Structure 1
Amino acid sequence: MSRFVRSEREKLANLFVTLGPDAPTMCTGWATKDLAAHLVIRERRPDASLGMFVPPLRGHAKNTLRSFAAKPYQELVDLVRNPPMWSPVSNPLTEGLANTLEFFVHHEDVRRAQADWHPRELPKEDQATLWRNSSMIARLRLRRFPATLLVQAPGFGEVSTGAGGERLRLVGAPGELAYFLSGRQRATRVQIDGPSALADRLRNTPLKI
């Protein structure tokens, strides 16, 4: 199991316990019990997980989410904490790729919905892991953005993406960039340099898969 994923999973499970089932998250309409249910379904119910991408299955996905969210909360958190080895997304071959951003972002979804949140000071190794993932996501999700976009994580690297044209620069720590590129632009602490209209467009562009 990826050390970083294991650490984020454990910290998120502990935070779920601390906050209880009805605490807010950054995921619209979801309390902590709903987010925990989502994570469990993603790893244990691929039939329901397909509902995020296949419209005819959305009703099944919503019903499954409600069913899992209604489970005893501690049981639900224990399922988050202890993933099945057979899961398509949490087995040793796929977990690093499939779960690095999943667990970091959802950990931040819970942290940043609380009134006293503050950016974490992550070890350099963890920041490097997040940058590797963020740089790939930047190329994928921003390749059609109507500008020449330079994404920079000082001390870790930079990538150029976008469809060309006017220049725009997105600068931040790897964790902030990871959160930004996951569609949470308004809840991140990054710097955007360039034409204001393009900067506003970047802040409001849907970036979720």
Structure 2
Amino acid sequence: MSLARRERHALVETMTEAGPGAPTLCGTWTVHDLAAHLVVRERRPDASLGIVVSPLAGYLEKAQAKIAQRPFTELLELVRTGPPWWSPLRPVDAVANLSEMFVHHEDVRRAEPGWEPRRLAQQDEDRLWRTLRTMARAAYRKAPLPVVLATPQGDTITAHRGDGAEVVLTGTPSELLLHAFGRDEVRITATGADADVRAVLATDRSV
């Protein structure tokens, strides 16, 4: 079973345990709202375009609000089963949905006080590192200074080139991936001048 599929199943379990009204790291969204978002993304390609196309954001919001009226258990079953056979996401689920499922799983986990990072198998960390390589430059494109992502083992990704002294963000691939996706509830260390570090950590990392 792919890591994306395992994270999907784990996400549904965590959402079930948290309950529909529990908070997430996705702004004001509850777990129920997040489930509705995932269903729209995989089953309403017409509306999901609003995720990346600003003029369609209102259409997306209406579609998500309508789907959110469904029972929580029904939404979770739709998330668990994944993209339907006709979805363009289905053939590429292992790749296209890996970061989506992993990040949103942590959005539910880390919205609770006292969270701790999970210990992932090295092969899973390696898979997340490969994913990070494909999107790091887009995530840190607005950084005011050079940014390097590094693992404790010494692997590095140049996430942003530019003028000035570089800031190095160090952590496991899973923690760095979450940071690249705009999450601040992460366990990483930042090396550089204090003002530079603050500037990089405050960067808009929306992809």
CA shift in 2, pair 1:64/1:96, >3 Å:
same
Task: Indicate the structure whose relative CO is greater, using CA pairs within 8 Å and at least 6 residues apart.
Answer: 2
Q: Determine what percentage of the aligned residue pairs are the same residue.
A: 40
Q: 2:74 aligns to what?
A: 75
Amino acid at match of 1:49: S
Q: 1:151 aligns to what?
A: 149
Provide the rounded CA distance (Å) in 1 between the counterparts of 2:64 and 2:141: 33
For structure 2, the 5+ residue unaligned runs are none
Provide the rounded CA distance (Å) in 1 between the counterparts of 2:148 and 2:199: 15
Q: Deviations over 1:13-68 (max 9, x none)?
A: 11111121111100011000100010111000011111122232222111111111
Please provide the CA RMSD for this pair. 1.5
Provide the rounded CA distance (Å) in 2 between the counterparts of 1:169 and 1:151: 6
Q: Secondary structure at the match of 2:177?
A: helix
For structure 1, the 5+ residue unaligned runs are none
Q: Deviations over 1:96-139 (max 9, x none)?
A: 33111110000000000012311100011110011111122213
Q: Deviations over 1:163-195 (max 9, x none)?
A: 3231211100111001000011x2111111012
CA shift in 2, pair 1:174/1:48, >3 Å:
same
Are residues 1:132 and 2:133 paired?
A: no
CA shift in 2, pair 1:143/1:54, >3 Å:
closer
Which runs of 4 or more aligned residues in structure 1 lie more than 6 Å from their structure 2 counterparts after TM superposition?
none
Aligned residues: 205
1:146–1:163 Cα contact (<8 Å) kept = no
Are residues 1:18 and 2:12 paired?
A: no
1:135–1:158 Cα contact (<8 Å) kept = no
- What pairs up with 1:1-12 in 2 under 5 angstroms? 3-12=2-11
Amino acid at match of 1:171: T
Provide the rounded CA distance (Å) in 1 between the counterparts of 2:159 and 2:14: 35
Q: 1:56 aligns to what?
A: 55
Provide the rounded CA distance (Å) in 2 between the counterparts of 1:203 and 1:69: 33
